[in-house]
Chains A and B, each alone.
Chain A
């Protein structure tokens, strides 16, 4: 399948305005082969709207989407050959059986054999119910069938919109392992949206955090976590001077002066040296605390709590 580090999805300056409302602002990111990319945001952030643009369901008002090197607008057919997706709920034909549904989609792509259909059915563990009508399926079974249809064409890019919706804890765990396997062993680039940070944290290599249609953070998950573990609060006098010293220090980032307290980020092993430097510079340090907001705190802080966008 795809080579490692090949860019399978490339989004540049993506924008969408519906009815005078700008829903998506200038979004850019890349997804590489073999990585799981998390797309995180609270309800109404614009995740689904973005995903609809990625798979050609709605037209962007600005920007470009490239899938496997093919421009989605100009070369829709070749771009779509490389994608499997579920947008919101996997709505399938209820009056057909699971297998008949897969056959419908197989006929719409090139060269999908019956063996391939059976293979994806086994992959998602639906062998026992595949000949039943979809209207008799539970939500979790529909999710599985949705994933099966997304995998049919051996895509380089898999786009999943809140795929854990309706899955039980066992199913969520299974999906997580499944997604990791696809990325690590088959080299698939997986783009996965969620409003649950814990989910993203366990599954993803990199993450973009979306809020009110704007990207607040894009980077590796480990960096996001490392940053957070390295937040420290100094209470020192004179605060202004300490603030300036910290700001100019090469190992310190994100320095904030909050009344008498100075917040900043740094690596834990640098803390004693930085403290010594402050003391040596004539600053009186009254206290030094490690501020460790959880990722959830960070997320809520970034996105303004639980307010719907």
Chain B
């Protein structure tokens, strides 16, 4: 038997275990539930907006939004950070108006895009954490590690097979997120909008929104990029959780650590405007789809390549630590 075929057998084993533990089923159910909730909420918001503006035409809506932001900026209690963000929004809205682009053109493809913007930094990472938090530690707590590691297979290969299976399921999760959002969005908002041009590639230079690098791309292309970035975030979070499940004996502890990091990261983004070193934390780099739409980076000096590099370095370091610990550790369970 060749080495590769044997490895495929190992991955097959891990896949069977993951499926039979119903982990992936849980993720799918959660995903579908959240997509439906989001779609319902989105539809409600649109209906509200419509009521307020009194017309389906998006231009007045956008003008109303600009007026909204401008009035909020006049409020002296709004911190400068917020004001800057409103300024970007206003400039973006004006850009859309000038170019005659509906930024929230109804249709499932816009919902698919929004869904990734909303879930890349918290929902998808949480789903991926449920997949991986006990992937290794359950073998210890159930005692099966003794049977697993007394086979004629090197330890690192067993761990690599587990990781490969996890990566497969993370990829499946992102694919399913896309399919679920497209299907549910289609039912709620209609099946259109895939080729609508969207502006991407805004950059922020010295606190100013620089539209000179912005380009028009079809929405499906934008979605492809956004889901690619969502995949990168999910892979990183899955890798970090995977290592935690090697280091920490209890799944609940691994889950707790990741929850604290993810939620803490989302809070930190709003707090750490001046603490520039925070940009090297993985959890501050998860709102990665924001770079596509031209959102202000949470901390000065952050960019798409920067965030991707930070995520890759964290994932790689975790993986090395995980493999080192797993291959050396005494099995006393």
Binding site for B on A (CB under 8 A): 18, 52, 55-59, 76-78, 80-81, 83, 85, 87-96, 100, 104-105, 107-111, 149, 153
Size of the chain B interface, CB-CB below 8 angstroms: 25
The answer to the question of B1 belonging to the interface, with a C-beta cut-off of 8 Å to chain A, is: yes
With a CB–CB cut-off of 8 A, which chain A residues contact B142?
91, 93-94
Contacts A83-B150, A91-B144, A94-B142 given; 13 further ones with Cβ under 8 A? A56-B149, A57-B330, A76-B152, A81-B152, A88-B146, A92-B147, A93-B20, A93-B144, A104-B13, A104-B16, A107-B9, A108-B9, A108-B10
With a CB–CB cut-off of 8 A, which chain A residues contact B10?
107-108
Residue of A nearest to B330 (CB): A58
The answer to the question of B332 belonging to the interface, with a C-beta cut-off of 8 Å to chain A, is: yes
Q: How far is the CA of A153 from the CA of B21 in the complex (A)?
A: 27
Listed residue (B16, B147, B154, B330) with the most chain A CB atoms within 10 angstroms of its CB: B147
| With contact pairs A57-B331, A58-B332, A95-B20 given, residues A108 and B146 touching in the complex (Cβ less than 8 Å) | no
With a CB–CB cut-off of 8 A, which chain A residues contact B143?
88-89, 91
Binding site for A on B (CB under 8 A): 1, 6, 9-10, 12-13, 16-17, 20-21, 142-144, 146-147, 149-154, 328, 330-332
Q: How far is the CA of A213 from the CA of B9 in the complex (A)?
A: 39
Listed residue (B142, B146, B332) with the most chain A CB atoms within 10 angstroms of its CB: B146
Residue of A nearest to B331 (CB): A57
Pairwise interchain contact A96-B20, C-beta atoms closer than 8 A: yes
Could you say which of B1, B21, B150, B332 contacts A80, with CB atoms under 8 Å apart? B150
Q: How far is the CA of A291 from the CA of B331 in the complex (A)?
A: 45
Q: Which 8 A-B pairs have the closest CB atoms?
A: A91-B143, A57-B331, A58-B330, A108-B151, A107-B9, A80-B152, A81-B152, A55-B150
Pairwise interchain contact A57-B146, C-beta atoms closer than 8 A: yes
Q: Could you tell me the distance in whole angstroms from the C-beta of A48 to the nearest C-beta in chain B?
A: 9
Residue of B nearest to A93 (CB): B144
Q: How far is the CA of A58 from the CA of B145 in the complex (A)?
A: 12
Q: Could you tell me the distance in whole angstroms from the C-beta of A54 to the nearest C-beta in chain B?
A: 10
Listed residue (A56, A58, A88, A91) with the most chain B CB atoms within 10 angstroms of its CB: A91
Q: Could you tell me the distance in whole angstroms from the C-beta of A95 to the nearest C-beta in chain B?
A: 5
Q: Could you tell me the distance in whole angstroms from the C-beta of B147 to the nearest C-beta in chain A?
A: 7
With a CB–CB cut-off of 8 A, which chain A residues contact B146?
57, 87-88, 91
| With contact pairs A58-B331, A93-B17, A93-B144 given, residues A76 and B150 touching in the complex (Cβ less than 8 Å) | no
27 contacts between A and B (CB under 8 A): A18-B332, A52-B331, A56-B149, A57-B150, A57-B330, A58-B330, A59-B330, A80-B151, A81-B152, A87-B146, A87-B150, A90-B147, A91-B143, A91-B144, A92-B144, A93-B144, A94-B142, A95-B21, A100-B16, A105-B151, A107-B9, A107-B12, A108-B13, A108-B152, A108-B153, A110-B1, A110-B152
Q: How far is the CA of A56 from the CA of B330 in the complex (A)?
A: 9
Pairwise interchain contact B332-A56, C-beta atoms closer than 8 A: no
Pairwise interchain contact B144-A77, C-beta atoms closer than 8 A: no
Q: How far is the CA of A305 from the CA of B327 in the complex (A)?
A: 40
Residue of B nearest to A82 (CB): B152
With a CB–CB cut-off of 8 A, which chain A residues contact B12?
107
Residue of B nearest to A58 (CB): B330
Q: How far is the CA of A94 from the CA of B152 in the complex (A)?
A: 23
Q: How far is the CA of A123 from the CA of B143 in the complex (A)?
A: 25
Q: Could you tell me the distance in whole angstroms from the C-beta of A216 to the nearest C-beta in chain B?
A: 25
Residue of B nearest to A111 (CB): B1
Q: Could you tell me the distance in whole angstroms from the C-beta of B107 to the nearest C-beta in chain A?
A: 42
Listed residue (A93, A110, A111) with the most chain B CB atoms within 10 angstroms of its CB: A93
Pairwise interchain contact A77-B154, C-beta atoms closer than 8 A: yes
Pairwise interchain contact B332-A76, C-beta atoms closer than 8 A: no
